[in-house]
Amino acid sequence: MSLPFLPFEVIISILLLLPARELIKFLVACKSWCAKIKSQDFIKKHLDTSVATGKSYILYLPSESKAAKTFTLLNHKSFCYEFELRVPFHLPCVLDCIIVGSVNGLICLTNISCFGHTIYLTNPSINKYLILPLSSIYRDEFDLRVIQLSLGFGYHEKTNDFKVVRIGFVEHDQSDEDDYEEATTLDHRYDFESKAEVFSLNTKVWKTVELSPNFFYKRHDTFSGVVVNECLHWKTIKSNIYEEKIVILSFHMGEETFQEIEYPKFHDEGRIDRSTCIGEFKSKLGLFTFCPVEYWFGPGEQPCQLWVMEEYGDKNSWTCHATIVLGILIHRPLSFTRNGEIVMQDRSGNTFCYDLTSNQLLDLNIQDEEHDMNIVDFTDSLVLVDLNDEPMGGEGAFPAGGHDFDEYMLMEQVLNDERIKFQSETSVPIVIAPVSSISRHCGLCLIVTLAPGFN
Amino acid sequence: MASTTETKQKKMLILKSADNDEFEIEESVGVQSETIKNLVEDGFTFVPLPNVYTKALIKIIDYLKKHANKTDSNDEEIKTFDKDFVNTTFDDLFELVSAANYLHISCLMNMLCQTIADRIKDKSPEAVRKIFHINCDYTPEEEAKIRKANAQAFEGQFDESLD
């Protein structure tokens, strides 16, 4: 009898059931397997299969293992420990990394010190990563005055693209004003300037986002992975001559424009101090509200509520979905899980997960005394499988891949890239400026900027 | 004419394997296969299966009979049956999965694919090539390049066995 002949469609059905790290190994089986595994349509189907067959996890970077550089993965239903994944780059600055967001197997990371300047995208399942190229807008003196950078990371289904958004704002210096009194009047509230840019994984370049002259938002959530209706969302403060209030800033990942979404009208407005956290709740925009521990002196439980925007964009559709009694004092909500649970921490850094359906509060046994951890959903996927096979596009891009290079080499790389690039045009002096926040762990943190006037 | 001893109340089908053996089964058992179901709906009672050999067809008919009589009480029994069913060589599994694919029996297909996937997990690329009878069409340089670009995936020890 002849050898059993397996139709290629059957081989594909089998390969779809394998974890991404196994598929990487089988790239060398033969050319047709390799081409299939790397195809966009296989990557997409594999991701769907991963979700359908329960290869979904809750992922975090434990503070105690930051030195060991491993992500911990928990089962997304039971929250039991499943396995660990090595952070696939060996920079000392990984020590103080924070997760900006995670979608379809791709994790966006940045450093806590010099937040938002160096950004990594990594798929730890297959040990691939890239460091985003230098900013297109924070190269001039603007970056020395930027007082806050906010990041967003999301996946845009329609264009099959991952996007990173960076918003920075700088408050204009009032110190040289003659009249200090004048500087403290209401007028100065909108005396600030914002800039925004978006990085697309498909094009691998940053693009400046045009902001309307009415972009009066400041002190955004520092990072967000909250995607609803093709848009990323941050909680922010709208501040202009007429008002100062909390709103939600949204960024449409297809149109690449910003919009504003109003907060709900709380029934007990003004009676309690309120903190809020936005998230995706069952494909809708959700808002978790609670009274911060430091303001809660009332008897009984700290009041918490979950609000849901039933019709996206319609401020009148905000509905109080649930009033929650937790039995713990919340210090910081972290995120909403894909199953509609809310992850939160108390003051001592104990981490809990609240299930709204069963009203159960589960202690995840995760300690985060420094309150700098983020917990995200994670799915096994092949995204970035093609990285490293061809050189990275985009000017000023760092080399990417599985190489070990330390931060000093990285700095060297920055300097060399910049030197080569600008020496070819004109001999421009390069200024190395220390940033105000020095890394707690590395002790060295520099940003490279051109001397003012050369942009 | 085929058999005349069939009982009147049960509709019967005849399946003919690639090596020309004929098997009589109840229609209700056969229609778990989408391919057979479509033929039955078109009025056929004689179903030639040019892609399915006798050896595989016997096992598949066993499977269909077992699963046609699925009730709440024999759940454990079926689980044991399934476990024995997939406990065979890779070549047998490949024949069965090809047949299940041709016959469109989705639950059998899922079970066989999952079994094969679980069994090739942790195997070395060389072992997988042998198991799937793949002729490697890479030059040594091309293969080295892929291994280098994904060095971490090739670290450590792999299962070299072929069963």
pLDDT tens per residue across span A387-399? 865 434 333 334 4
What is the C-alpha R_g of chain B? 20
Residues 6+ apart with CB under 8 A from B10: B26, B27, B28
| Pairwise CA distance, residues A209 & A256, whole Å | 7
Q: Please report the residues numbered 356 through 395 in chain A whose beta carbons come closer than 8 angstroms to any beta carbon of chain B.
A: 388-389
B154: nearest CA in chain A?
A: A25
What's residue A204's pLDDT?
Answer: 93
CA contacts within 13 A on the Cβ side of B113: 25
| Pairwise CA distance, residues B108 & B117, whole Å | 14
Q: What does the pLDDT look like over B89-110, one tens digit per residue?
A: 999 999 999 999 999 999 999 9
Contact list in A for residue B95 (CB cut-off 8 A) is 4
Q: Between chain A and chain B, how many beta carbons pairs sit less than 8 Å apart?
A: 90
* Structure tokens, B161: 């066995």
Q: What does the pLDDT look like over A4-50, one tens digit per residue?
A: 578 999 999 999 999 999 999 999 999 999 999 999 999 999 999 99
Q: What does the pLDDT look like over B76-87, one tens digit per residue?
A: 999 999 999 999
Confidence category of residue A91, pLDDT binned at 50, 70, 90: low
Q: Is B132 on the interface with A (CB under 8 A)?
A: yes
Burial class (CB in 10 A: 0-12, 13-18, 19+), A323: exposed
Note whether B98 contacts A10, CB cutoff 8 Å.
yes
Res. A408: pLDDT tops 60:
no
Note whether B98 contacts A5, CB cutoff 8 Å.
yes
What's residue A174's pLDDT?
Answer: 54
Mean pLDDT of A414-433: 38
Q: Which of B106, B113, B135 to probe the A interface (max A CBs under 10 A)? A: B113
Contact list in B for residue A388 (CB cut-off 8 A) is 149-150
| Pairwise CA distance, residues A350 & A361, whole Å | 12
CA distance B114 to chain A (A): 7
| Pairwise CA distance, residues A33 & A108, whole Å | 29
Note whether A6 contacts B94, CB cutoff 8 Å.
yes
Res. A63: pLDDT tops 90:
no
Q: What does the pLDDT look like over A37-56, one tens digit per residue?
A: 999 999 999 999 998 988 88
Residues 6+ apart with CB under 8 A from A177: A183
Torsion of CA A332, A338, A340, A343, to 10 degrees: -20
CA distance B26 to chain A (A): 28
Strands A304-309 and A205-209: unpaired
* Structure tokens, B147: 């291994």
Residues 6+ apart with CB under 8 A from A148: A168, A169, A218, A219, A220, A222
Q: Is A313 on the interface with B (CB under 8 A)?
A: no
Q: Is B144 on the interface with A (CB under 8 A)?
A: no
A26: nearest CA in chain B?
A: B125
Q: Is B134 on the interface with A (CB under 8 A)?
A: yes
Contact list in B for residue A3 (CB cut-off 8 A) is 91, 133
If you count DSSP H runs as helices and E runs as strands, how many of each does chain B have, helices first?
8, 3
Torsion of CA A421, A425, A426, A431, to 10 degrees: -30
Angle at Cα A345 formed by Cα A341 and Cα A350, nearest 5°? 115
Q: Coil, strand, or helix at residue B125?
A: helix
Mean pLDDT of B104-128: 96
* Structure tokens, A3: 């050898």
Note whether B91 contacts A30, CB cutoff 8 Å.
no
| Pairwise CA distance, residues A351 & A311, whole Å | 31
Q: What does the pLDDT look like over A324-368, one tens digit per residue?
A: 888 888 888 999 998 889 999 988 889 999 998 888 899 999 888
Q: How large a percentage of chain A has pLDDT more than 70?
A: 71
What's residue A298's pLDDT?
Answer: 63
Q: Which of B54, B116, B145 to probe the A interface (max A CBs under 10 A)? A: B116
Select the residue of B113, B129, B150 nearest A17 (Cβ to Cβ). Answer: B113
Per DSSP, B159 falls in state B
**Nearest residue to B112 via CA among B134, B92, B133, B132:** B92
Higher-confidence residue: A427 or B8? B8
Contact list in A for residue B135 (CB cut-off 8 A) is 30
Note whether A4 contacts B150, CB cutoff 8 Å.
no
* Structure tokens, A350: 């104990």
- ipTM greater than 0.90: yes
What's residue A420's pLDDT?
Answer: 36
**Nearest residue to A151 via CA among A128, A140, A135:** A135
Angle at Cα A62 formed by Cα A356 and Cα A281, nearest 5°? 25
What's residue A387's pLDDT?
Answer: 83
Note whether B152 contacts A29, CB cutoff 8 Å.
no
Res. A445: pLDDT tops 80:
no
How far, in Å, are A221, B116, B127 from residue B160 at the CA level? 51, 15, 5
Q: Is A297 on the interface with B (CB under 8 A)?
A: no
> φ, ψ for residue B61 (rounded to 5)?
-65, -40
| Pairwise CA distance, residues A311 & A283, whole Å | 11
Res. A255: pLDDT tops 90:
yes
